[in-house]
Structure formats: C-alpha cells, structure tokens
Structure 1
Amino acid sequence: MEANFFRFAVQELFDKVQGVRIEKVYMPGRDIYTLDMGKRGNLILACSRKQGFFTLSSTKPPNPSKPPAQAMRLRKHIKNRRILDMISMWPERRIFLRLFAADPVWLELDLVRGLSVVDDPGVSPEDSIAWPDLESFFADKEIWKTHPQLTPPLRQELTRRSPDEAGRLLQDLAAGRPEGFFICEKGPDRLGLSCFRITDSDTCREFDSALEACAAFAEPGLQSLLDAPIEKAREKEEKKKNRKLQKKMQQIQEDHKRLLEMTKLEDQGKIIQNNLYQLDPEQKTAGLRLKDHHGLEHELELDPGRTVRENMQWFFKRARKGKRGLEAVSRRKNELAGPELGSHQADASRQEKESRQAQSSDSRSDLHRKAHVFRSSDGYTILRAKNSRVAGDLLRKYASWFDYWLHSQDGPGAHTILKRRGREESVPERTLEEAAVLAALASFQKNEGRARIMCALVKDVKPVKGAAPGRVKVDRVYKSLVVEPDPDLEAGLKVDKS
C-alpha cells in the first residue's frame, strides 16, 4: 500500500470506526492482525514492508486454536476499549488510535511492524506535512529523505509524466485531492494500491473509495499471506526430509565402502588356504609373506592371538559377513529410493531369499540321500556316492567341471568328488590325500595296506552310454595316488546332515 493511498484510506477507516468498541484481537497468521469491532466488521491488518495493507471486512479469517502470546498481550490492554481519536503519520504508513481509558492509551497501527500499545505517540495532530515544488523535486535526487511522502511509485510516475501533468499531480496530492483509487497491474504482477493512475501499468481498476479498493486488493492478497506460513512449513518439512534422506544415503555409501573392504578379506583367506599345506596351521604369527595362484607375492597381516588356520577362518567369516551386509545395504538403498518401489523390491528380495533357502534345504537333503559328505582338514568339501546308481547325478548336479574326481584304480569303488573353489585354485596335498583315502575306504582295496587311487578333472570323466550305472570313461588322468586306508579318518571328516 503506497503511503499517499494510505493517507486517504485511514481517514475513511476512522470515519467508520470512531466510537466503536474493540471487542477482541486475533492473530490468524504471522504479522496478520484482526480487530473484532462487532457490527462494524473486522479490521484486518497485514504487515509487510512492500505489500502491507488493511481492510474492513465482514468475514473473519480462521484463527489458530491457541492464540499467540502477542495477541494475548494486546487483549489485555485494548479489549473492550472504544476508539476516540486518531493521529495519522501517513508518510510512514502508521496511525495512532486513542482508546477510552482512565489513563491515556494509544494503539499504534504500523503497516510494517504491526500493532503495539504506547502511552504517548510523540506527535500531535497539528504537525503538518511539507511538500516540495516540482523544480525542487527534479533538482534534488535525494529529496525523498526529507519528504518521505515522495514514495518510489510517486517519484517514478512524476518522471514519466510531462512537467504540466506532474506539477498538477503534485499540487493535488499536497492539497489532499487524489486522482482516484486504483489497483494497477503490469503483466502477472500487481503494482499495489495507489491514489493516482500509474501510466506505465497494463491495467488500472478504479474504485469509488479507498476502502473498496482495499477490500478488492485484500481478497487474494490475504489468502496468499495466510497460505504462506503453511507453504513455508511444508517447505521446511520437505527440506528436513531431504536432509534426513541425504544423511541416510551418505551412511549407506559409507557402509557400502566398509563392507566392500570386508569382502576383499576373502582373497587373503584364499591365499592362506592355498598355502596351508606348506605352513604350520597352529602357528601364531603377526604376518606372512605368501604367493597367490598367479605367483604374485602378498604381505598378509595376521592377528598374533590367533593361529594361522584361525586367521584364515576369520578372513572367510568377515568376507561372508561383508557380502550379507552388501545385500542389506542394497535393500536399504532401494527402500529409500521410493517407498512403493522399495516395498516391492523388499518383498521380492524376501521371497527370493526364502526360495533360495528352500532350494538350498532341498538340495542339501537330496545330496545327503545320494552321497556321504565330508570336510577335509583344510576346509574342502568331499562327496562320495552311496551307490553306483547315483554316481551320474553326483557328476551332473553337484560337481563343477574343474572339480576333482577320484576312484579306485583297476577295480570297483565309489565315485568321489573333491570340490574346488575355482579352476585356478591349487588344492593342498593333504586334502587330496584325504579324498583319496575316502575313495579307497569305499572300494575293493579298503582292507589292504596300500590302495592305488586315480584322480582326474570332472570334465575328463564321461558316462558310458548304454553301460551299467556308474560306468565311466576317463579321457585323461590328472594324478595317481597311493594311500593307506584309515577307517578313523572317515569318522573324523564326516559332516552331519543338519
């Protein structure tokens, strides 16, 4: 609301509310005040440096269930007090209303700072406002500092008009004669309330009185001010959610990095496993220098409180934990990406996990029905067929092409599979001998002092078409071993069905 418009609007307002009792004060929003004046309506004051306005309305904006402390303080001083007089400081867009009381009480209405109660306004009704002439206006670029009624909209309008028109406008305003009461608009923007026509605007709606213009201006303006705190709270909540989301995503990235490092411990475990046959597994040391299957040398840091074997097992355990953690991190990331998407993916992941567990359970149960399962001293799995009918299944379903197949040489025996963890992996000699002993114990040589066992890659073992179950053809023998059948070894390496 431009200051010169404010001058005429507050005079019209006082003519309507003089002698009226202020029944109550409300604050429906931040910097918005409502003075309930009974049958005369509600004086609504929206405070803002650029877009502040007031209006006299028959409707009351919705109020919060709990009034703010400032509203309670104002009620204490002005509730049920009648308006007796007014002092207008319109160049500063503020007025003082004298209220009926034993001691003088003044209610200050400031279009920028809001409502307050003062004992003395510090000005008198006789204080006059001096106006400069047009020549002084054009001569002094900072004349507005001594004449605040020369507002930015008025100064801009005076420079746009011809000297004669600008002079008449200045004289009319000094004499208290407005050109009219307007709401001017330029494009999508409202330029505000004005008591002179803004020639640079696209449209200027004219009203019969200043209060009518205030009512038309307040209708959309008040709603936007009431919605502003709600919108601000919504934006604040949205920013808070985004900060939480970013914090969670950052934590997920840190967890992913940490768990990825844990999975790399599997490589160290494999290096120890591949070299365990030439180490003392029960030795306790702070480090080892070992070669991997490519022949590259690695410096491994170990826990001196654990044996070499225990360090190897700890590396594998930590790596498995890291892999499980990465799966959990992936699920968390999907859930954060979108509640619905995350929920579907979580359900799918859970179903997939349950399916894998069921399949794994069925597979283990089926395996134990068809084969005896053993675990070597170095941690390798060894499978031995229970009879010749299941030997084919053992080769097709439970063996990889790079696993080792063992069988008694030159006579009947059980098909035995030594599982490897990769085609490049070197199996310790002790494990290979233990697998050969297990094969010998289920062969025609089990009661002999020494047994000859042949070893081949699974890819080189082919079933003979049309022959009896268990008959195979070996294209290439990898190694022949001579071992002593030890019945106690079988019981020591046997894996329980659970």
Structure 2
Amino acid sequence: MEATFFRFLAAELGPLLNSRRIEKIYGPAPEVWTFKLQSTGEQLNLLFRPAKSAGHLFTSPLKPANPQQAPAKVMWFRKRLQGRRLLEHHVDWPTLRIAWELTPSRNEGHGNILLFDVRNGLQLLDELPSGFGAAPEWPALEDIRDNDEIWREYPHVSPPLRKYLKGLPEAEAHAAYFKVVCGESNQFHCSRDEQKHPPLAWPRANDDLAFTSALEAASHYGAQTLFPLLEMEDTKETTSRIKSERKRLHRNLARLDQEETRLRKFIANKQLAEALQAELYRLKGLEGAESVEVIHPTEGPVTVALNPFLTVTENMERYFKLAHKGTRGLEHVKRRRLELNRELGKLENGSVPEKQAAAPQSAPVPVLPKRFKGLAVSVFVSSDGFTMVRGKNKKANHDIISKTASTFDYWLHVSDGPSSHVILRRDHPNQEIPESTLREAAMLCALKSYRKDDARADVMYALVKDVRKVKGFAHGQVVIKDTLGTIRVELDPALEKKLAK
C-alpha cells in the first residue's frame, strides 16, 4: 500500500471505527484477519492482510468464509480483544501503521493498544512505539526527481509518488507535490487492468476508476483482490493434490509405455524360436555356435543368435520362454493401463477418491473449497465458466448456505414453492454475472423443484448474506432479507447433463 494513500485512508478509517466494539475476530487464511465490529445498520467488517507491497486494510459488509476451527493465533487475539471497544486512534502513516487505544481489560497482560501494521502484521501492545505519529520531513522536489533511491531516506516518498511527479511538467509537479505535502486530495484511483495495482491518491492511467473516498477505493481494491485470494487459499490443498495425482498417473503411464516396449521385444523372440524349431532336425548336433542361419516357415531366412554354452534345443526353449513372458507381461500392462486411464477419467469427471482430484486440460472440472467436502451436492459449470452448486436434499440445501457459500455468492430458489437451493459462486463481491449464466443457474434450480414438469418457472435470486436460517425451522427453510430480482426461464431438461461435472 502506498504511504500517501494510507494517509488519507487512515484519516477516514480512524473516526469511522472509534468507539466501536469488537464483536468477533476471524482468520479466513494465514495472516488474514476479519474483525466483526459493532454496527447499528449494515454489518461492518474490518479486513486486514499485511504484506510488504500490496497489503489490505478496508471495510466490507461481507465476511469471507472461515475454517470450521479457528487457528490458535486467532483464538489468542479473541481471548484478549473480544468485547473491548476501539477508543482514540493514532496514525503513523509514513510507516503504514494505525493504532487504537482499547477499553481496559479485566485481565492483566491483555494489552492497551491494538496496532495494525500494514507491512508487519497485527500487534497487541501496552504502549505506542517511540516516535509513533511524528510528522515526517519532506525533501525538495528536485531531489525527488533526480534520486532513484530517495525512498530509502524518506520512506513516505514512495516509488509510485516519485514516478508520478517525475512524469509531470515542472510547474504541475510543484503544484501536485505541494498538495501531497499538505495532505490534500479529493480523488482516489484504482486501476482497471488485470494486474490490480493498489489504489493511489493520483491517477496511474487515464482510464482509472476514480473514487471520492479513500475508504471506497480501498474497499473496491480489497473486494477485487483479497476475496479471490482467499478462495485460492481455500482450494490450495485440493489443487496441490490435483497436480500431484495427475503427475503420478501420467508418470505411471509413461513407465507402462517403457515396459510395453521391453515386453514386445521379448515377444519378438517367438519368431526366432519358431525358426529354430522348424529346422531342429538339421541342427541337433550343432555345438558352440554363436549364431545360425535358418529359414522361418513364413518369414523366410532368419539369423538367430545362440548361447554357445547351450544346446540348440535349449536355445529354442529359452526363446519360447522369453516370448511367453512377454505375452503374459503385456496382458498385465494392458490391464494396468486400463486402470490408470479409468482413474484419470474419474478425475476429469469430478468423481474422485477422498484425497484425489483432477482438472482436465480441455474442460476444467471446478475445484471446490474443502469446506464442500462430504456434502450431497451436484456441481455444474455454466457456459461462461462459473461454478454452480445444487443441493440434493434438505440437509444439503441447509449446509451449502450455512457452511460453504461465501456471503457474496448468489442464492437461487424457485418462487412460491419448494425447490433445491442453488449457489452461483463468485470470485469476489464486485464480479459481474453474465445473464446467460444467471439463466442457466435459474433453470438448474427449477429442474429440481415442484415446477420441474412445467414449460417455464419463476426463480428468485439474492446474495447469500441476505438469506437467513431461523432457529427451529426445518432444514432448507430460510428467510430472505432482500432479493436481487426474479427471473423467468424456459425449462430445458437436457441442460443438467450438458453442464454437469
């Protein structure tokens, strides 16, 4: 995160969070933190991921999915922070640090200061570090434009700031630098390109997205980058097993190719044995010869290498044994190759053993996070490449909402009657869903509902965060806080087979 942008972000974030109570702390991935904070309206979560260059610190109404068991480090912070309030905040923006004083704890040693260090992580301290919040010194603009290493002495003069100032005409550079020094900015920018650069307080390109709030820019960047990163982290173990299993199968198939080549050479000895057998009457008295010229009944003249220490008959029997060994071995190779190809086929179709998975090269099978393991669900891939998960029974309908779906995924259900629950997965909260994918998800929902035999059906859809389970309700029964809309679809029973994985 760039220092000047962090300066503006901290100026907005500090007052927003002052006096709020920490209700719960989560750890969706190693060194990624979610703080659920007191809020009278929409849910307020503070998401924090420290990193040397592209750290995250932003607010979101959505909470990333979390492991079923919180890591020890998360439990340590929960014990010391849960229920305490954030009081006055302090900022040391050149070093990307913001801290809040905490309400006193009943237990000693639970710390008085909660420090968010974007470069180094989360810390609980008794007091602020020495020099925290001191005003930085600013070098002359000429020194910034001429010295590539100036950030070493002035860390708040970041390489992106130097590049920005160096690219402006001198008069404009002086005016822009003056605004940076004074902490003035009314626009903040996020890149549109696929690299997803961290937000800045100045434009990186002409087509950058512009925001009037640093917090809005940070939240947009976080939604576009952190949520997909967490999904990747959730599937990392499965993806690693996929790679390992596919590599093992292809390695074994390659070894079978080598073994088949060797065995076919053995089988070729049958021709030599048959040639010796055809003229054995002529060769019975032959001794000590290293080779002999014979005529095969169908192949014609053949030169047969002999072991001079064996009789011709013994040489013939030896060749027959090698050929027989090759034939028997080749049957085993064929059977083993069939087994390995069957395993590959299962992997490519998404039906895998407990610790195996695979993604085919042509039509990738979606890798679901491990939290989907053991659920009775059907998995589909839309024509646009989006993963759709449909519950097979009431318990699965309940579990895919409560245990697996991300808060920003889409939930679909047929209007005014019983149906399966369908989760349309998204990589991040701002991801757009093509209408074709939405219609396919709605159709899959309707095909497992009371409207399955009708020509068309109305299907409603909402964000998962707005779908609530109520204590005492039967499995699958929910209350919808808000819907995104209703879509009418024509039912096509062939769609299930077409999109199934």
Q: TM-score, normalised by structure 2?
A: 0.58
Query: How far apart in 2 are the matches of 1:26 and 1:333?
Result: 47
* Corresponding residue number in structure 2 for 1:257: 261
Query: How far apart in 1 are the matches of 2:26 and 2:62?
Result: 13
Q: From 72, 93, 96, give the equivalent of 1:93.
A: 96
- Return closer, same or farther for 1:313/1:296 CA change in 2, 3 Å cut-off: closer
- Return closer, same or farther for 1:118/1:302 CA change in 2, 3 Å cut-off: farther
* Corresponding residue number in structure 2 for 1:291: 293
Alignment of 1:237 onto 2:244: no
Whether the aligned pair in 2 keeps the contact of 1:26 and 1:35 (CA below 8 Å) is: yes
**What amino acid maps onto 2:170 in structure 1?**
P
Whether the aligned pair in 1 keeps the contact of 2:56 and 2:118 (CA below 8 Å) is: yes
* Corresponding residue number in structure 1 for 2:11: 11
Query: How far apart in 2 are the matches of 1:286 and 1:117?
Result: 90
**Bigger CA radius of gyration:** 1
Query: How far apart in 1 are the matches of 2:31 and 2:187?
Result: 25
**What amino acid maps onto 2:65 in structure 1?**
P
Measured against aligned partners, the alpha-carbon deviations of 1:148-177 in whole angstroms (never above 9, x if no partner) come to 111222112111222222222222222222
Measured against aligned partners, the alpha-carbon deviations of 1:27-57 in whole angstroms (never above 9, x if no partner) come to 1124321012232722111333443222222
Give the Å deviation of 1:60: 1.9
Measured against aligned partners, the alpha-carbon deviations of 1:60-102 in whole angstroms (never above 9, x if no partner) come to 2221112223222322333333333444232222233343344
Measured against aligned partners, the alpha-carbon deviations of 1:248-282 in whole angstroms (never above 9, x if no partner) come to 1222022112212321331342243234324559x
Alignment of 1:152 onto 2:159: yes
Measured against aligned partners, the alpha-carbon deviations of 1:209-229 in whole angstroms (never above 9, x if no partner) come to 322332333333332222222
Measured against aligned partners, the alpha-carbon deviations of 1:114-135 in whole angstroms (never above 9, x if no partner) come to 3233455533345221112223
- Return closer, same or farther for 1:126/1:116 CA change in 2, 3 Å cut-off: closer
Query: How far apart in 2 are the matches of 1:295 and 1:204?
Result: 82
Query: How far apart in 2 are the matches of 1:259 and 1:299?
Result: 19
Instruction: Report the 3-state secondary structure (helix = DSSP H, G, I; strand = E; otherwise coil) of the residue aligned with 1:148.
Output: coil
How many residue pairs get aligned? The number is: 335
* Corresponding residue number in structure 1 for 2:190: 184
- Return closer, same or farther for 1:338/1:202 CA change in 2, 3 Å cut-off: farther
* Corresponding residue number in structure 1 for 2:474: none
Measured against aligned partners, the alpha-carbon deviations of 1:406-430 in whole angstroms (never above 9, x if no partner) come to xxxxxxxxxxxxxxxxxxxxxxxxx
* Corresponding residue number in structure 2 for 1:202: 207
With a CA cutoff of 8 Å and minimum separation of 6, indicate the structure with the bigger relative contact order.
2
**What amino acid maps onto 1:94 in structure 2?**
R
Instruction: Report the 3-state secondary structure (helix = DSSP H, G, I; strand = E; otherwise coil) of the residue aligned with 2:85.
Output: strand
* Corresponding residue number in structure 1 for 2:168: 161
Give the CA RMSD over aligned residues.
3.3
Query: How far apart in 2 are the matches of 1:186 and 1:159?
Result: 23
**What amino acid maps onto 1:248 in structure 2?**
N
Whether the aligned pair in 2 keeps the contact of 1:271 and 1:290 (CA below 8 Å) is: no
Query: How far apart in 2 are the matches of 1:126 and 1:290?
Result: 97
Query: How far apart in 2 are the matches of 1:286 and 1:65?
Result: 78
Q: From 88, 110, 123, give the equivalent of 1:116.
A: 123
Query: How far apart in 1 are the matches of 2:9 and 2:56?
Result: 10
* Corresponding residue number in structure 2 for 1:248: 252
Query: How far apart in 1 are the matches of 2:25 and 2:50?
Result: 15
* Corresponding residue number in structure 1 for 2:278: 274
Instruction: Report the 3-state secondary structure (helix = DSSP H, G, I; strand = E; otherwise coil) of the residue aligned with 2:329.
Output: helix
Query: How far apart in 1 are the matches of 2:147 and 2:50?
Result: 31
**What amino acid maps onto 1:201 in structure 2?**
N
Q: From 38, 48, 52, give the equivalent of 2:51.
A: 48
- Return closer, same or farther for 1:290/1:27 CA change in 2, 3 Å cut-off: same
Instruction: Report the 3-state secondary structure (helix = DSSP H, G, I; strand = E; otherwise coil) of the residue aligned with 2:211.
Output: strand
Q: From 72, 75, 78, give the equivalent of 2:75.
A: 72
Instruction: Report the 3-state secondary structure (helix = DSSP H, G, I; strand = E; otherwise coil) of the residue aligned with 1:23.
Output: strand
* Corresponding residue number in structure 1 for 2:227: 223
Query: How far apart in 2 are the matches of 1:191 and 1:288?
Result: 76
* Corresponding residue number in structure 1 for 2:368: none
- Return closer, same or farther for 1:341/1:154 CA change in 2, 3 Å cut-off: closer
Whether the aligned pair in 1 keeps the contact of 2:28 and 2:34 (CA below 8 Å) is: yes
Whether the aligned pair in 1 keeps the contact of 2:275 and 2:302 (CA below 8 Å) is: no
Give the Å deviation of 1:188: 4.8
Instruction: Report the 3-state secondary structure (helix = DSSP H, G, I; strand = E; otherwise coil) of the residue aligned with 1:193.
Output: coil
Q: Kindly, what percent of the aligned residue pairs are identical?
A: 29
- Return closer, same or farther for 1:153/1:139 CA change in 2, 3 Å cut-off: closer
Give the Å deviation of 1:186: 4.9
* Corresponding residue number in structure 1 for 2:379: none
**What amino acid maps onto 1:290 in structure 2?**
V
Query: How far apart in 2 are the matches of 1:206 and 1:195?
Result: 10
Query: How far apart in 2 are the matches of 1:163 and 1:145?
Result: 23
Query: How far apart in 1 are the matches of 2:234 and 2:332?
Result: 38
**What amino acid maps onto 1:11 in structure 2?**
A
**What amino acid maps onto 2:45 in structure 1?**
N
- Return closer, same or farther for 1:116/1:125 CA change in 2, 3 Å cut-off: closer
Alignment of 1:59 onto 2:66: no
Give the Å deviation of 1:312: 3.3
Measured against aligned partners, the alpha-carbon deviations of 1:437-466 in whole angstroms (never above 9, x if no partner) come to xxxxxxxxxxxxxxxxxxxxxxxxxxxxxx
* Corresponding residue number in structure 2 for 1:37: 37
Query: How far apart in 2 are the matches of 1:72 and 1:303?
Result: 78
- Return closer, same or farther for 1:310/1:141 CA change in 2, 3 Å cut-off: closer
Give the Å deviation of 1:23: 3.0
**What amino acid maps onto 1:154 in structure 2?**
L
Measured against aligned partners, the alpha-carbon deviations of 1:262-304 in whole angstroms (never above 9, x if no partner) come to 21331342243234324559x9x99864332166654423886
Alignment of 1:212 onto 2:216: yes
If each structure's helix is expressed as a fraction of its own residues, which one has the higher value?
1
**What amino acid maps onto 1:137 in structure 2?**
I
Whether the aligned pair in 2 keeps the contact of 1:26 and 1:67 (CA below 8 Å) is: yes
Whether the aligned pair in 1 keeps the contact of 2:191 and 2:209 (CA below 8 Å) is: yes
Give the Å deviation of 1:308: 5.9
Whether the aligned pair in 2 keeps the contact of 1:181 and 1:193 (CA below 8 Å) is: no
Whether the aligned pair in 2 keeps the contact of 1:252 and 1:329 (CA below 8 Å) is: yes
Contiguous gaps of at least 5 residues in structure 1? 343-498
1:346-425 to structure 2, matched below 5 A, reads none
Query: How far apart in 2 are the matches of 1:297 and 1:144?
Result: 81
